Amino acid sequence: MDGIHDLGGKEGFGAVVREADEPVFHARWESRVFGLNLVGAGGAARNRDHFRHAIERIDPVAYLTHGYYGRWLGGVETMIVEAGILDTAAITGRALELGASPDDRIASQPSSKPDHVDYEPLEPGNRRLVTAPARFRTGDRVRTCDRGTRGHTRLPGYARGRRGIVVAMHDGWVYPDTNAHGRGENPQHLYTVAFEGVELWGPEAESRVVVHLDLFEPYLERSDG
Amino acid sequence: MAEASNPAAIRAEAIESLLIEKGLITAAEVDEVVERYNERIGPLNGARVVARAWRDAAFKQALLEDATAAVAPFEFEGGQTEKLVVVENTATVHNVVVCTLCSCYPWAMLGLPPRWYKDPAYRSRIVREPRRVLAEFGVQLEPDVEVRVWDSSAEVRYLVLPQAPVNAAQLADDELVARVTRDAMIGVERFV
């Protein structure tokens, strides 16, 4: 989806701010949100793609202002509400009892018609056997598809419709574009594709820059030049 | 406590308390996860791998050919490294890792990522103007050095093998491990 999460190449964010002696978590609540998700969010979290897409769908202002664990909180709440485990009103009611303000911005924007992700991963991890032969080989010239998708995808906006070269093959993996939506693991071949900076950013690109992306086979077509 | 005024902290507590009351989670299982990542998983894992590669040419070759297999004997916990690829810095190549779409990171090797790695500034800029961002980190690259950015958008996780410090041969093993920084393994620091 063309969400705020797709940040590669966006301009105007300014300097990278670093912190000396940074702790793993900056506050207790960050660690609780982290742990809540890792234990499966009360049965709501089905797979990593599902969780990532839940984060992508949070309020974009919250995405930029609530920090990493604020985004996780929005994603966790979205999954829990969409799974029917808790409803937004119950969470807000409890938050008000605990001292929240009615004006607080809530990151979660659960869908009223959510996807049903009604299966657990079919095997541990995300590697899967793909019986169809790989369409591409190392050294092949490829072009990425140039259209966006309304759903989850691992093709960033900045690399749509761009030409690159396959530099590595990674066998088969669960396909996030369907798995995030409960439409099956649908495993696909995965490739690392190298893109010249000038192909991505035009003549203003910095010199001697190559950007590598791991891209699933359905994103790619053969390119003759 | 100060945290009580933070809306995210309150909402997190609301969700956790409701899930506990429904019997769907326990505070203890959340505690266990937090303790594991706070105390046992961190960049020391990656540092041990890098220091060994600096010492042991055969291990280094194995690491660059199939890092997943080469690090398996270390039995690191922490996930997010089902397939690991190690990329080598040289005098003419500099590698740097990002995840523009979320914040993918080799947890088992480096622990949880620093805040800057997850922030919009780094994620947006490092694919577009890596030389400029690296210069802000103090890494000044000559024009003939190729910059390879690895946007770890799928399931493969990347770790940079930095160039060894010039005095590596004089250092004891534990001193060598201590020289390997998290930032060098992300690719935003260079020793030589």
Go through A37-54 and write b for each residue having 16 or more CB atoms within 10 A of its CB, e for each that does not.
bbbebbebbbbbbbbbbb
Burial of A69 (0-12, 13-18, 19+ CB in 10 A): buried
Give the mean model confidence (pLDDT) for residues B63-79: 89
Contact B35/B77 with Cβ under 8 angstroms?
A: no
Q: What is the spatial distance between Cα B136 and Cα A88, in angstroms, rounded to a whole number?
A: 43
Residue A163 β-bridge partners: A143
Q: What is the spatial distance between Cα A36 and Cα A95, in angstroms, rounded to a whole number?
A: 17
**Per-residue pLDDT for B77 more than 80?**
no
Q: What is the spatial distance between Cα B69 and Cα B84, in angstroms, rounded to a whole number?
A: 9
Pairing of strands B83-88, B156-161: parallel
- What pLDDT shows up at residue A115? 93
- What pLDDT shows up at residue B42? 83
- What pLDDT shows up at residue A158? 98
Go through A131-149 and write b for each residue having 16 or more CB atoms within 10 A of its CB, e for each that does not.
eeebebeeebebbbeeeee
Q: What is the spatial distance between Cα A131 and Cα A128, in angstroms, rounded to a whole number?
A: 10
Give the mean model confidence (pLDDT) for residues B86-108: 96
**Preferred mutation among A55, A94, A219 to probe B, highest tally of B CBs within 10 A:** A94
Residue B103 bears catalytic tag: yes
Q: What is the SS3 assignment for B36? A: helix
Give the sign of the dihedral formed by CA A192, CA A196, CA A198, CA A204.
Answer: positive
Question: Which tokens belong to B170?
Answer: 């004089």
Instruction: Give the closest residue to B94 by CA, choosing from B28, B184, B176, B11.
Output: B184
The nearest CA of chain B is from the CA of A209 a distance in Å of 5
**Per-residue pLDDT for B1 more than 50?**
no
Interface contact B145-A208, CB threshold 8 A? yes
- In the Cβ-directed half-sphere of B2, how many Cα atoms lie within 13 Å? 3
pLDDT in tens, A14-69: 999 999 999 999 999 999 999 999 999 988 988 999 999 999 999 999 999 999 99
**Residues in chain B closer than 8 A to A127 (CB atoms):** 82-83, 155
Q: What is the spatial distance between Cα B44 and Cα A163, in angstroms, rounded to a whole number?
A: 38
Contact B141/B94 with Cβ under 8 angstroms?
A: yes
- In the Cβ-directed half-sphere of B37, how many Cα atoms lie within 13 Å? 23
**CA distance between the termini of chain B:** 46
Q: Name which of A26, A104, A209 is nearest B149 (Cβ-Cβ).
A: A209
Interface contact A9-B3, CB threshold 8 A? no
Cβ neighbours of residue A39 closer than 8 Å, sequence gap 6 or more: B25, B29, B30, B33
Residue B124 bears catalytic tag: no
* Prediction pTM value: 0.96
DSSP state for residue B73 in the 8-state scheme: G
Residue B17 bears catalytic tag: no
Question: Which tokens belong to A111?
Answer: 């869908």
- In the Cβ-directed half-sphere of A198, how many Cα atoms lie within 13 Å? 3
Residue reference for tokens 């982290």: A34
Burial of A187 (0-12, 13-18, 19+ CB in 10 A): buried
Which stretches of chain A drop beneath a pLDDT of 70?
A: 225
Contact A65/A4 with Cβ under 8 angstroms?
A: no
Interface contact A126-B82, CB threshold 8 A? yes
Partner A contacted by B148 (CB < 8 A): yes
